[in-house]
Structure 1
């Protein structure tokens, strides 16, 4: 799917789901890694993660587009276009947009690399980054921590 086809699909969804047009630019953005799409408040254009189409079906892409269009239409009503806004949530449910984008293959999955253990009670703390063992203690018994 090209950017032009994406633009036409978005305009069709806006007309069918919201009964209004969307005159701004919609493009695929390969730099998006963890989100399905992004609505820009300043110039109203929408970026869509191309992995939503490559790794999932067109229904997922349409759900992401509806989600971003809800941001736009709530913003045009002079309301905060964030996820906690009740009007945003109600409109998203009404049009059948996705609440969350599905996890893609590009999302980094990190696992704990370090393991600390309390010398008092033996409780273990898996961590990604080092901690200062002189400063931090066990949350259960206040014992000293040791890097394993």
Structure 2
């Protein structure tokens, strides 16, 4: 599968915007190869939506559309002068209304990098890491319990 051209990508995002938000997308959208840990981002200062091309190439189409809908939630709320950040109630409500995901699923190519697994001894939360963690120094981020290597 080859990457969409900038024109095709703009048409896709505009079509999704009209279908789910009943508003046109009038600004710029582009692929950003430097995005590593996220499916996309919205830059309010430039009014640009950047998407991770790996999600278009490796994930299924529905996942990619979900990422676009998530970024459009940021975009439309920002344009309207409402709370567009993840913690804002308007943003959470719009995510729910449009069926947009809060986070994107990790790519299969990134899951290969997980070499270490740690478990909290109190709440049993599992941490997956590519690098080793000093379990004498670090604790569970949820309950402050001790970690053990699994």
Q: Same fold (TM over 0.5)?
A: yes
Instruction: Give 1 or 2 for the bigger CA radius of gyration.
Output: 1
Q: Distance in 2 between matches of 1:29 and 1:95?
A: 25
Aligned positions of 1:120-131 closer than 5 A: 128=133
Q: Distance in 1 between matches of 2:8 and 2:17?
A: 14
How many equivalent pairs are there?
A: 120
Question: Which residue of structure 2 lines up, in the alignment, with residue 84 of structure 1?
Answer: 87
Question: Which residue of structure 1 lines up, in the alignment, with residue 102 of structure 2?
Answer: 99
**Residues 1:31 and 2:39 aligned together:** no
**Residues 1:2 and 2:9 aligned together:** no
Q: What's the Cα RMSD here?
A: 2.3
In the alignment, which of 107, 111, 114 is matched to residue 116 of structure 2? 111
| Partners of 2:83 and 2:89 within 8 A in 1 | no
Instruction: Give 3-state SS (helix, strand or coil) of 1:10's partner.
Output: helix
Give ranges in structure 2 of 5+ residues lacking alignment.
118-131, 138-143, 146-150
| Partners of 1:33 and 1:106 within 8 A in 2 | no
| Partners of 2:17 and 2:23 within 8 A in 1 | yes
